[in-house]
Amino acid sequence: MPSDFDRQHGYYLEDLSPGMTEVFAKTITDADVAMYAGVSGDTNPLHLNAEFAAQTRFEGRIVHGMLTASLLSTLVGTRLPGPGGAYVSQQLEFLKPVRVGDTVTAAMTVVEIDQHSQRVHLDAVCRVRGEAVVRGPGVVWVPSRKRTPR
């Protein structure tokens, strides 16, 4: 019978292969933006003040880029590789603004696996209505069954 640890654990290195993809989708709410501003300290009026934001090139409030990108962290921590894995790096390119009410679909795809270092290279993208809004390569450390103490 699997232990509680085994039932909580995500993928091990040996479970992964290039091309594997996981997705997570979330509709961004005004409460999400307000909570992110509170937690991060990023109170830029571009995100919080409709009158200010209306006068910018965006012509209205936009969601914090890092709030959008945090959905990639959700994938790493919960799905690919999931519990047990740890971020090493993530490059980000912000392509288009996200607005309150948009549904962001984040996807991670395994590109390469380095068995020796236990690092998995991922292609990351966040989309809104099928259009990429954030993208960039990431690297995650993934535990190996062969090297993980029980």
Q: Which residue range(s) make up the domain with 126?
A: 4-28+63-141
146 has a pLDDT exceeding 60:
yes
Confidence of residue 2 (pLDDT cuts 50, 70, 90): confident
| Mean pLDDT (the chain, rounded) | 95
- 34-45 mean pLDDT: 98
49 inside domain:
no
CB 136 within 8 A of CB 93: yes
Tokens of 27: 């509709």
pLDDT 10s digits, 54-95 = 999 999 999 999 999 999 999 999 999 999 999 999 999 999
149 has a pLDDT exceeding 80:
no
pLDDT 10s digits, 113-145 = 999 999 999 999 999 999 999 999 999 999 998
Q: Enter the DSSP assignment of 42.
A: -
57 inside domain:
no
Q: How many domains does the chain have?
A: 1
**3-class state of residue 31 by DSSP:** helix
34 inside domain:
no
- 103-112 mean pLDDT: 98
CB 66 within 8 A of CB 12: no
45 has a pLDDT exceeding 80:
yes
149 inside domain:
no
What is the C-alpha separation between 111 and 113, in angstroms, rounded?
7
Could you tell me the CATH number of the domain that includes residue 107? 3.10.129.10
79 inside domain:
yes
58 inside domain:
no
Identify the pLDDT of residue 147.
67
CB 79 within 8 A of CB 25: no
Closest CA to 34 of 19, 50, 13: 50
60-64 long-range CB contacts below 8 Å, 24 or more apart? 60/99, 61/33, 61/99, 61/100, 62/97, 62/98, 62/99, 63/28, 63/32, 63/33, 63/97, 63/98, 63/99, 63/100, 63/102, 64/33, 64/36, 64/37, 64/40
90 inside domain:
yes
73 inside domain:
yes
